Amino acid sequence: MEQRNLVGSRIRKARLSEKPKASQADISARLAVQGVILSANSIGKIEMGTRPVTDIQLMAFAKALKVPVTWLLGLDEKEL
C-alpha cells in the first residue's frame, strides 16, 4: 500500500502520549472546534498513512495535540 502522508505515525504517537490517552474521537472533536471536520475513521486512516493530510489539517493537528508542526513532519527529533 502506498504511503500517502508523512505525519500519521507522529499524530498517533502524540495522541497516545497524552495522559490520559486521547482517542481518535477526542482528536476529531478538537479539530472540529477549529473548523476542521475529520471523523475518527479518517484520523485512523491518516495514522495508518493511507489518507493524505492538507496543510490546514496539519496545522490543526499540531494545535490539537500541542506539538510543533516540525515535530509532526519529523524535522524535530525532540521527544514528547
Q: What is the DSSP string of 21-63?
A: PPPHHHHHHHHHHTT----HHHHHHHHHT-S---HHHHHHHHH
What's residue 1's pLDDT? 75
Choose among 56, 58, 53: nearest CA to 69.
58
Instruction: Provide the grid cell at 40.
Output: 475518527
Asked: is 8-72 a CATH 1.10.10.10 domain? The reply is no
Report the first-to-last Cα separation within the chain, whole angstroms.
29
What's residue 77's pLDDT? 79
Q: Please write the tens of the pLDDT for every residue from 27-71.
A: 999 999 999 999 999 999 999 999 999 999 999 999 999 999 999
pTM for the predicted model, two decimal places: 0.95
Please determine, for residue 79, whether its predicted confidence score (pLDDT) is greater than 80. Answer: no
- The domain segmentation of the chain, as residue ranges, is 8-72
Please determine, for residue 80, whether its predicted confidence score (pLDDT) is greater than 80. Answer: no
What's residue 78's pLDDT? 79
